[in-house]
């Protein structure tokens, strides 16, 4: 029997691999001078046409109003698509439900569902225990607004950890937690900062073995400051790259530190892309210079910028 003729509807392999995704993390400003720096950063980053920018949210909603205001301004005044971080620690179900509803009304179509760090005091009543509970709540709130979301469902992201979360008994426990977030309805994950290239690969392999199918996007930060490295290692329990730390500490000046740090970040991002990462999420700390240095050196394959506009060198 001869093979059936190919119909026009035959789905063949894609013409080419999709472009790697590019996104940046920003945080809401804490003062008017910080807002000025942030907006300069936003304008610079906008010219690189990222797929989205994420906006952090303080645990217990400490910066709720500034976060919502920044999301609104990004939607109204820029071409950028915001991904709103949302934490559930210290808040009630009703409060979170109403906030998700408010974000949908504002035009936000992506939410990163997080638990948030436990506060030192026990203020605020947490009705949700884990980020996976928040994912479920977001999906419930979304269903209530289906009619308004005809132009696109919410994309719900979650956190992933290339090195063990400080509260976890093991790395495998975190992988199980990631699987639970997927089962609750998450679409994608972004990793916490990590310092060693093989840590990302290890996470992705373990996650795939466990049944996690959603994209896992590596979060990388410009590794240009000893202080920042120390703080991350201390606060987030991330295993320190002592060789890199020593090289940064021994560098003669800020320029040398920046060259070392940017190269280290580019190497990390390239290793993650080589391991199959679907994109790169850059933690900017609201500063554009080092992020753009990383981007220039990374030479990420990106779609042409509409209208030929873009950053001039």
For residue 25, indicate whether it is catalytic. Answer: yes
Out of 17, 25, 77, 234, the active site residue is 25
Structure tokens at 281: 């999420």
Residue 61 interacting with ligand FAD (CB under 6 A): no
**Given CA atoms 142, 50, 282, 202 in this order, what sign does their dihedral have?**
positive
Q: What are 123-126's contacts with CB under 8 Å, separation 24+?
A: 123/60, 123/90, 124/60, 124/89, 124/90, 124/91, 125/90, 125/91, 125/92, 126/88, 126/89, 126/90, 126/91
Structure tokens at 230: 């120390």
Q: 288-298 vs 254-274: helix axis angle to the nearest 10?
A: 50
CB 114 to ligand FAD: min, Å: 4
Residue 293 interacting with ligand FAD (CB under 6 A): no
CB 293 to ligand FAD: min, Å: 21
Listed ranges 96-104, 141-149, 161-169, 303-311: which one lies at the site for ligand FAD (CB under 6 A): 161-169
Listed ranges 6-14, 103-111, 170-178, 262-270: which one lies at the site for ligand FAD (CB under 6 A): 170-178
Residue 192 interacting with ligand FAD (CB under 6 A): yes
User: Which CB sits closer to ligand FAD, 59 or 104?
Assistant: 59
Q: Which of residues 38-57 bind ligand FAD (CB under 6 A)?
A: 56-57
Angstrom CA distances, 201 to 198, 214, 306, stand at 5, 15, 33
CB 14 to ligand FAD: min, Å: 28
C-alpha to C-alpha distance for 29 and 56, rounded to whole angstroms: 10
Binding mask 108-137 for ligand FAD (x = CB under 6 A): ----x-xxxx------------xxx-----
Q: Which of residues 208-237 bind ligand FAD (CB under 6 A)?
A: 219
User: Which CB sits closer to ligand FAD, 141 or 178?
Assistant: 178
CB 208 to ligand FAD: min, Å: 18
Residue 258 interacting with ligand FAD (CB under 6 A): no
Residue 103 interacting with ligand FAD (CB under 6 A): no
> Which residue from 159, 214, 277, 294 is in contact with ligand FAD, where contact means CB under 6 A?
159
Cβ(138)–Cβ(179) below 8 Å: no
> Which residue from 26, 45, 53, 59 is in contact with ligand FAD, where contact means CB under 6 A?
59
CB 60 to ligand FAD: min, Å: 8
Residues marked active site are found at 25
Question: Which residues form the interface with ligand FAD (CB under 6 A)?
Answer: 56-59, 85, 87, 112, 114-117, 130-132, 159, 165, 167-168, 173-174, 177, 180, 190, 192, 219
């Amino acid at each position: 029997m001869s093979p059936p003729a190919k119909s026009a509807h035959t789905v063949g392999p894609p013409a080419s691999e999709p472009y790697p995704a590019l996104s940046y993390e920003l945080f809401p400003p804490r003062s008017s001078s910080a807002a000025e720096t942030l907006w300069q950063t936003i304008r610079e980053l906008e010219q690189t046409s990222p797929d989205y920018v994420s906006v952090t949210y303080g645990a217990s909603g400490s910066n709720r109003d500034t976060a919502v205001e920044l999301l609104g301004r990004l939607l109204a005044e820029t071409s950028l698509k915001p991904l709103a971080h949302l934490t559930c620690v210290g808040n009630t179900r009703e409060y979170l439900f109403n906030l998700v509803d408010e974000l949908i009304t504002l035009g936000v179509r992506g939410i990163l569902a997080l638990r948030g760090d436990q506060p030192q005091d026990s203020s605020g009543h947490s009705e949700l225990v884990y980020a996976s509970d928040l994912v479920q709540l977001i999906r419930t709130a979304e269903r209530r607004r289906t009619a308004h979301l005809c132009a696109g469902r919410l994309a719900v992201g979650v956190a992933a950890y290339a090195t063990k979360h400080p509260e976890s008994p093991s790395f495998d426990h975190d992988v199980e937690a990631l699987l639970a977030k997927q089962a609750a309805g998450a679409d994608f994950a972004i990793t916490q900062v990590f310092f060693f290239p093989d840590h990302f690969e290890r996470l992705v392999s373990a996650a795939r073995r466990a049944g996690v199918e959603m994209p896992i996007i590596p979060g990388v930060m410009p590794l240009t400051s000893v202080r920042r490295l120390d703080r991350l290692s201390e606060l987030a329990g991330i295993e320190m790259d002592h060789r890199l730390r020593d090289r940064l500490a021994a560098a003669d000046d800020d320029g040398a530190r920046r060259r070392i740090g940017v190269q280290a970040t580019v190497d990390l991002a390239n290793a993650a892309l080589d391991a199959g990462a679907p994109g790169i999420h850059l933690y900017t700390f609201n500063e554009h210079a080092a992020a753009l240095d990383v981007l220039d050196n990374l030479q990420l394959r990106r779609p042409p910028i509409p209208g030929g506009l873009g950053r001039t060198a």
